[in-house]
Structure 1
Amino acid sequence: MSESSQWLIFAVIGTGTFALRLSFVELRGWLRLPPGLRRALAYVPAGVLAALVLPAVVFQGKPAHFDWANPQLPAALIAGVVAWTTRSTLLTLASGMSALWPFGHWLG
């Protein structure tokens, strides 16, 4: 693939991404989403966060395998319970990190 065709692909993809994001901003007053879709879109940030965090917590090392001796598992569970009950980001981070350190020494 030539360098000019790569730049063309980058430009097309960038323009498409910009157009998609701009459409939600510009069409906000004109476009009415169905209530079911609006409710579903509210869960997108949580789903993306889970998709990013869960593999890093559950699978340690290059050959991805589940290990019960992983200190991040109980710390993540504690942080999840704190997040569920308090809805506080700062408290969730603090509880997860304070649980990770002892579990890291105990299990690690």
Structure 2
Amino acid sequence: MATEKQKCEWLGTWIGEEGREIYRTLQISDDIKDIQQISQKFDEHVRPRKNKQIARHKLKNRRQSSGETFMNFVKDLKIILMDCEYDNPDDVLEDCIIDGVVDSKLQEGTDG
């Protein structure tokens, strides 16, 4: 089993030059040798800040594209929904599917 230090060293190899440039901007102290902490710093850097109102706007306007699979449409809705901060996201997801799905038979058959 690899040590945490080894995992961190491997990460430096795997992320490439662009990843190493980002790493240098993350303000990680030299004594941090925990892959989870480093991974969290990368996540914070690459994931955009949440904006609940913008996410809700995107969700409300998201429609299934012509040729887009149903599963891809639902997956995208779930991703957008993560930043919306609704109390009951499952109910909202159902509403968005009904409003945005292309297939009218799916719209009619989604009642709980």
Is TM (by shorter chain) over 0.5?
Answer: no
